[in-house]
Amino acid sequence: MEIKIGIQHSARELSLESNLTAAEVEAAIAAALKDGGLLILVDEKDRKVLVPAEKIAYIELGEPTGRRVGFGAI
């Protein structure tokens, strides 16, 4: 699953691929926002991403799309 996290006062967003399901990511986000602590996610290479919950501007969840190649990929 592709996850994009917007951080307040930052021009760039965090982008990672994770093996977690949408429900697992939503539960982690809800728990972090409720507690006011850290949002901790693990990407496909088992690296941890930690984001302070009060600095989260937005989170976008989506499935990865494959690259289209060729003339019929319009």
pLDDT band for 65, please (50, 70, 90 cuts): low
Write down the domain spans for the chain.
Answer: 2-62
Q: Pairing mode, if any, of strands 2-7 and 13-17?
A: antiparallel
Q: How far apart are the first and last CA of the chain?
A: 24
Share of the chain above pLDDT 90, in %: 66
CATH for 2-62 is 2.30.30
**pLDDT value, residue 73:** 56
